[in-house]
Amino acid sequence: MNRPGTFKISGIALALAAAFGPARAVEPIVTQNIDPAAPASMNTGASSASVGIGYAGDDARRFGQYNGINEDGYYGLLDFNWVKRNDETGTWTRIFGRDVGLEDRQLRFEQQRQGNWGYSIDYSRVPRFEPLIANTAVVGIGSNNLVIPTTLTPGSPIELGTKRTILGLGVDKYFAGNWDVQVKFRNEEKDGTRIFARGTTGTGPVSSFGQFEFGPEPIDATTRQLEAKVNYNGGALLLTGGYYGTMYNNKFDSGLNFTGGLAGLSTFTPIALPPDNQSHQIYVSGNYAFTPTTRSTFKLAWGKITQDAAFVTGPNVPRAPGTGDNLGGKIDTKLAQFGVTARPMPKLSLFADFRIEDRDDKTPVLVYFTPPPSTSNGENEPRSIKTTTGKAEANYSLPEGFRIIGGVGWEEKKRNISEVRVVSAREVTDERAYRVELRRPMSETLTGSVSLVHSDRDGSPFLTTVQNSGAVGSNLIAPVFLADRKRDKVRVNANWAPISPLNIQFFAESARDDYSGRDGSALGPRKGEAQNYSLDAAYVFNDRWQANAWYSRNDTQFDQATCEAASSAGVCPGSAADPTWSAKLRNLSNNIGAGLRAKPTGQIDLGADVTYSEIRDQFDMGTIQGGAVTSLPDVKTKLTRLNLFARYALQKNAGVRLDYIYDRFSSDDWTWPTWTFADGTQLVENRPQQINFIGVSYYYKFQ
Partner 1 sequence: MLGGKGFFCIALLLLSAGALAQSADDIRDGKICATCHADAVQIWGGKHGTKADSRTPIAIVGCATCHGDPSAHLKSFSNPMPNRFSKMSATEKNDVCQSCHQGRERMHWSGSTHERNDVSCSSCHKLHTAHDRVRDKLTQPEVCFACHKVQRAEVNRPSRHPIREGLVACSDCHNPHGSVGRAMVLRDSVNDTCYSCHMEKRGPFVRTHQPVQEDCAICHNPHGTTAPNLLRHRQPFLCQQCHEPTSHRGNVASLTGTSTGANTLARGCLNCHTNIHGTNNPANISNERTFRR
- Cα distance from N-terminal residue to C-terminal residue, the chain: 42
Strands in 177-216 per DSSP E: 179-194, 197-200, 211-214
- Determine contact, residues 340/352, Cβ cutoff 8 Å: yes
Task: Name which of 120 and 279 has its Cβ closer to partner 1.
Answer: 279
Within 640-659, the residues that bind partner 1 by CB under 8 A are: 641
Within 36-95, the residues that bind partner 1 by CB under 8 A are: 38-46, 62, 65-67, 85-92
Count other C-beta atoms under 10 Å from residue 290's C-beta: 11
β-sheet bridge partners, residue 86: 91
Give the shortest CB-116-to-partner 1 separation in angstroms. Answer: 8
Give the shortest CB-551-to-partner 1 separation in angstroms. Answer: 10
Q: What's the Cα-to-Cα distance from 150 to each of 197, 211, 260, 589, 674, rounded to whole Å?
A: 15, 11, 6, 43, 21
DSSP 143: B
Within 657-676, the residues that bind partner 1 by CB under 8 A are: 665, 667, 669-672, 674-675
Q: According to the binding rule CB under 8 A, does residue 267 interact with partner 1?
A: yes
CA–CA dist 163, 177 (Å, integer):
44
Which member of 639, 644, 661, 691 binds partner 1 (CB under 8 A)? 639
Which member of 373, 501, 600, 688 binds partner 1 (CB under 8 A)? 373
DSSP 310: B
Q: According to the binding rule CB under 8 A, does residue 160 interact with partner 1?
A: no
Count other C-beta atoms under 10 Å from residue 640's C-beta: 17
DSSP per position, 440-451: E---SSEEEEEE
User: CB burial class (10 A; 0-12, 13-18, 19+) of residue 10?
Assistant: exposed
Q: According to the binding rule CB under 8 A, does residue 321 interact with partner 1?
A: no
Which member of 312, 537, 547, 606 binds partner 1 (CB under 8 A)? 312
Name the 3-class secondary structure at 477. coil
Stated length of the chain: 703
Which member of 94, 98, 597, 647 binds partner 1 (CB under 8 A)? 98
Task: Name which of 384 and 692 has its Cβ closer to partner 1.
Answer: 384
CA–CA dist 354, 298 (Å, integer):
9
Give the shortest CB-568-to-partner 1 separation in angstroms. Answer: 6
Within 377-406, the residues that bind partner 1 by CB under 8 A are: 378, 380-383, 385, 393, 395
Q: According to the binding rule CB under 8 A, does residue 9 interact with partner 1?
A: yes
- Determine contact, residues 97/80, Cβ cutoff 8 Å: yes
- Determine contact, residues 354/392, Cβ cutoff 8 Å: no
Q: According to the binding rule CB under 8 A, does residue 369 interact with partner 1?
A: yes
Which member of 209, 243, 662, 702 binds partner 1 (CB under 8 A)? 209
Within 216-235, the residues that bind partner 1 by CB under 8 A are: 221, 223, 225, 231-233
Which member of 167, 183, 301, 649 binds partner 1 (CB under 8 A)? 301
Task: Name which of 98 and 149 has its Cβ closer to partner 1.
Answer: 98
Q: According to the binding rule CB under 8 A, does residue 409 interact with partner 1?
A: no
What number of chain residues touch partner 1 (CB under 8 A)?
214
Q: Which segment (50-58, 145-153, 191-199, 648-656) binds partner 1 by CB under 8 A? A: 191-199
ω into 371 cis (within 30 of 0): yes
β-sheet bridge partners, residue 621: 583
CA–CA dist 85, 584 (Å, integer):
60
Task: Name which of 55 and 506 has its Cβ closer to partner 1.
Answer: 506
Within 12-31, the residues that bind partner 1 by CB under 8 A are: 12-17, 19-22, 26, 28, 31
CA nearest 118: which of 23, 182, 24?
182
Count other C-beta atoms under 10 Å from residue 157's C-beta: 9
Q: According to the binding rule CB under 8 A, does residue 680 interact with partner 1?
A: no
Give the shortest CB-417-to-partner 1 separation in angstroms. Answer: 9
Q: Any residues with CB less than 8 A from the CB of 15 and at least 6 apart, and which? A: 28, 29, 536, 538, 548, 549, 550, 593, 594, 595, 609
- Determine contact, residues 431/456, Cβ cutoff 8 Å: yes
Within 457-486, the residues that bind partner 1 by CB under 8 A are: 465, 473-477, 479-481
Sign of the alpha-carbon torsion through 619, 620, 622, 628? positive
Which member of 50, 546, 548, 611 binds partner 1 (CB under 8 A)? 611
Which member of 143, 165, 254, 296 binds partner 1 (CB under 8 A)? 296
Q: According to the binding rule CB under 8 A, does residue 257 interact with partner 1?
A: no
Which member of 202, 461, 498, 501 binds partner 1 (CB under 8 A)? 202
Chain centroid to CA 597: 31
Q: According to the binding rule CB under 8 A, does residue 622 interact with partner 1?
A: no
Within 498-517, the residues that bind partner 1 by CB under 8 A are: 505, 507, 509
